[in-house]
Amino acid sequence: KLRGSLIANKTLRLLPLEEVYNKVNGVWNLSSDQGNLGTFYITNVRLVWHAEINESFNVSIPYIQMRAVKIRDSKFGTALVIESLKNAGGYVLGFRIDPVEKLQEVMKEIHSLYRVYSANPIFGVQYQVEDRAAPLEELTVQYEEDDIEITEDNAASDAFVAYYAEGGKDRDEEPVYNEQLGLAVENLKEGYTLESLWEVTGI
């Protein structure tokens, strides 16, 4: 990221879970002919540089977007060169730190933090697993057949069917008072009782 709002009150704006491991002053950005003097912030997720005169002139390079970090000769002398991935802009950025020994130390530190990040990336998201699903073996219940015997009793239903199968149901019988029910019901045909028909609904 180029020219972002990275610095506030001379301090780097930290991302979630970000920690500053080193601050290096006297770092020249070689993007212009005369170079710009600034400061490196080396963190656990990225490398940040900003100009001393103008903090809004800055660059943030996440480790996840780095393609290569190496030392190379330039017209400004020995320089630290950082290349970003093509999908991150494909930038080639050069920085100079004096003396050369200090430059080599900075490169080793960046390499080390890059390897740590690659092995265990930090995306700024915290989470905690509270409940884990039980293993499938614990959730599996063995199937057992129910010990049930099914029997058929068609006596009641047969009486009901026979009652309506007989002719004469094109009209209702005269109602009579039934003391057992306390209601007026249709007069039953000969050979049928209220109990035999009532068993149909009591199944």
pLDDT at 199: 65
pTM: 0.59
* Residue 203 pLDDT greater than 50, yes or no: no
pLDDT tens-digit series, residues 92-135:
999 999 999 999 999 999 999 999 999 988 887 766 666 667 77
69 near 55, Cβ under 8 Å?
Answer: no
pLDDT at 60: 93
80 near 71, Cβ under 8 Å?
Answer: yes
Rg (CA), the chain: 45
* Residue 164 pLDDT greater than 90, yes or no: no
User: In degrees rounded to 5, what are phi and psi of residue 69?
Assistant: -135, 120
